[in-house]
Amino acid sequence: MGVFLFDEIIFGPVTSRRLGVSLGINLLPTDSKLCNFNCIYCECGWTKTGEGVKKRFHSRETVSSTLEAKLLEMKKNNEPLDVITYAGNGEPTLHPQFAAIIDDSIILRNKLFPDVKIAVLSNATMLHNKNVVQALQRIDQNILKIDSAFDQTIRLLNGPQRKVNVATLEEQFAQFDHQFILQTMFLRGTYNDQPVNNATEHEIAAWLMLVERLKPREVMIYTIARDTPTPTLGKVSSDELHAIAERVNQLGIATQVSV
């Protein structure tokens, strides 16, 4: 199956399933993915590893000047904008100047589009880094991924390149005092002849208990929307997602469904 890479630092604005009119920022290479996850469903394809892989990040200065130029253009043309979103070809919080880049973006946002939110889509693997945590505390929409309450399922779905376990993530999420958005991808199928399904009752029940413990301010659940590097994966139906969302709502937590 084909996969998708962002070929610019700034992309969009696009209409996001979850965020509205979004201006995307890619801090990572424009010709390859750079991530410490290797999710079997990632629209950007597989994560390349090994000594030959270069960590090429766009400089802080380049990101800031490119964003400023785009925002000035949009302001001049009276273009609508809801959110500036850090996502792109991998994990944005890996950038060594991530915190400073967020500060630059806040200044530009306040100057040019004061009503616009700043969002970061992250796999939550850099929450041991206090600078990353403090930067995420300063933005409007800190969107953190957990695809399962079970370590084994996370290893299957996300292929983390470093040790990741749910117990540690719970401790690290507490740094945000519930001021974060939890994001979960639901899917099913097979991978390397192994069954894949984090939408079983066993998975959902454990995930709901995790959600109840974490108490995020909002939950976003979604399913596959683009091609994946694993052609044997499939969507979870809209009805199933809305049923899961209703169970989250019963916990008193707002839930957004994207299909």
Between CA 255 and CA 253 the distance in angstroms is 6
- The least confident of 44-48, 181-185, 240-244 is 44-48
In a domain, 247, yes or no: yes
Summarize the confidence of residues 158-167 as an average pLDDT.
92
pLDDT in tens, 126-136: 999 999 999 99
Residue 17, pLDDT above cutoff 90? no
- For residue 68, pLDDT over 90 is answered with yes
Q: For residue 18, what pLDDT is reported? A: 74
DSSP symbol at 51:
T
For residue 91, is pLDDT > 90? Answer: yes
Alpha helices in the chain (DSSP H): 60-76, 98-112, 130-138, 151-158, 166-173, 201-214, 238-249
Burial of 247 (0-12, 13-18, 19+ CB in 10 A): middle
- What is the pLDDT at residue 3? 62
Greater model confidence, 15 or 6: 15
Buried b (16+ CB within 10 A) or exposed e, 1-25: eeeebbeebbbbbeebebbeebbbb
5: pLDDT strictly greater than 90: no
| Percent of the chain topping pLDDT 90 | 79
**Euclidean distance between CA atoms 144 and 216, whole angstroms:** 10
Which amino acid is located at 241 in the chain? L
The count of domains in the chain is 1
CA angle 117, 84, 180 (to 5 degrees): 55
User: Does 2 reside within a domain?
Assistant: no
Q: Is residue 98 part of a domain?
A: yes
Task: Flag whether pLDDT at 2 surpasses 80.
Answer: no
Q: Is residue 83 part of a domain?
A: yes
Report whether pLDDT(142) > 80: yes
- Tell me the per-residue pLDDT of 188-231, one tens digit each, with 9 for 90 and over: 999 999 999 999 999 999 999 999 999 999 999 999 988 888 99
Supply 149's token pair.
Answer: 């309450």
pLDDT score at 192: 92
Find the radius of gyration of the CA atoms of the chain: 18
Mean pLDDT in residue range 144-167: 95
- The closest alpha carbon to 211, from 258, 122, 148, belongs to 148
Question: Where is average pLDDT lowest: 4-13, 21-30, 179-188, 205-214?
Answer: 4-13
CATH number of the domain enclosing 227: 3.20.20.70
- pLDDT tens digits along 25-60: 999 887 778 899 999 999 888 887 654 445 678 999
Q: Report whether 139 contacts 102 (CB < 8 A).
A: yes
Residue at 5 is within a domain:
no
What is the share, in percent, of the chain residues with pLDDT greater than 70?
Answer: 96
Cα–Cα distance, 27 to 109 (Å, whole number): 17
In a domain, 135, yes or no: yes
Q: What is the span of the domain harbouring residue 15?
A: 10-258
Tokens of 220: 């976003």
Contact predicate 88/127, CB 8 Å: no
Measure the N-to-C terminal CA separation of the chain; round to a whole number of Å: 20
- The answer to the question of residue 119 being in a domain is yes
